[in-house]
Structure 1
Amino acid sequence: MIYRVLLGLLIIVAIAFGYTKVMARIASGIPPVSVEAEHQADHIYVSKDDRMMYLMQDEIVLKSYSIAMGAQWDAGPKQREGDERTPEGSYHIDWRNPRSVAHLSLHISYPDSDDRARGQENGYDPGSNIMIHGLPNGWGALGSLHRLLNWTDGCIAVTNSEMQEIWSFTPNQTPITIVSNWSPNNN
């Protein structure tokens, strides 16, 4: 608990001094070279309840990562812009940003047509720009401490070194399934 309080205070102080705005201008990082196609992931699974992400190939776990998500990750799937929820459903990685405000980012194809239709039916914007990303630029030294809080606006966050690895193992169009509870043993 004390770590969460200290981390929260550190973030508040940094924001107060404009550190985040300055650091957002710094380049995200040089993207790594992709691994050979035969070693790349063919699917990503995210288990929200376990706060885990799995890179899979032929139903075998290549890599697994402990993650941070949207601050309201446990309130159900993302519904609207600003709800701080992480989406649930089947999507894919549709583009990547090497100059992101966080250390590298892979865009998840949320919202899909169902998400947009649900938003339109209920009169709200479903949101967008859901990414898998590292830490905000300039915050890499936090490393795994960032996982003490679910701090994103709905994205999936990992450490910078993990993001380097994920970037290299995950080609565009890789399917990603985000669910409340998933285990590689259930697959």
Structure 2
Amino acid sequence: MIIWLGMLMTTFCHAQVDKVAVDKSKRRLYLMQNGEIIREFRVALGKQPVGHKQQEGDKRTPEGLYTLGFVLENSQFYRSIHIDYPNPTDIAQAKQNNVEPGGNIKIHGLKNGETLPSDYIQSFDWTDGCIALSNPDMDEFLSLVNEGTPIEIHP
């Protein structure tokens, strides 16, 4: 009975988050329910955080409306969830500029094997365009969101 109740509560928590919002200028990720913030996390961004991702290798974090996809438990980072960048608009813009849009954008934890404290690592932008959380925050994030949740990334 207790296990069933725990599963019910976990399912209920998942159902609460209907949108993820990222404010790049504040380095914050928000979990939203009916337009209200229910949880806030500190994030690190791509090494060139200002502006929308234009092409592969530009070290920028995309801006716009996307969807969270599959979770990866085994990669070079502590857990991750895929963001469906590039979307059709990104692809069209890259084609118009005769460049590759890039991809493989995720929300993830720290790099595996990182020995520096997460507070230090998260105090600067260090990814190639992804959104990074501390490992404990990544665990909490993944416990509260589902595949298919919309994510809106603001400048």
TM-score (norm: length of structure 1)? 0.75
How much identity, in percent, do the aligned residues show?
Answer: 39
Select the residue among 142, 148, 153 that pairs with 1:173: 148
Distance 1:156 1:35, change over 3 A: farther
Distance 1:35 1:110, change over 3 A: farther
Distance 1:68 1:34, change over 3 A: farther
Select the residue among 21, 25, 28 that pairs with 1:52: 28
| Separation of aligned partners in 1, 2:139 and 2:9 | 11
One-letter identity of the residue aligned with 1:153:
D
| Separation of aligned partners in 2, 1:120 and 1:34 | 46
Q: Does 1:38 align with 2:6?
A: no
2:98 corresponds in structure 1 to 123
Gaps of 5+ in 1: 1-32, 181-187
Select the residue among 156, 164, 174 that pairs with 2:131: 156
Task: Report the alpha carbon displacement of residue 34 of structure 1 after superposing the two structures with TM.
Answer: 10
Greater strand fraction, Structure 1 or Structure 2: 2
Task: Report the alpha carbon displacement of residue 63 of structure 1 after superposing the two structures with TM.
Answer: 1.2
Task: Report the alpha carbon displacement of residue 140 of structure 1 after superposing the two structures with TM.
Answer: 6.0
Give the root-mean-square deviation of aligned CA atoms. 1.6
Q: Could you say what secondary structure the match of 1:49 adopts?
A: helix
Q: Could you say what secondary structure the match of 1:103 adopts?
A: coil
Aligned residue pair count: 147
Greater helix fraction, Structure 1 or Structure 2: 1
* Aligned structure 1 segments of 4 or more residues deviating by more than 2 angstroms: 33-38
| Separation of aligned partners in 1, 2:105 and 2:77 | 12
TM-score (norm: length of structure 2)? 0.90
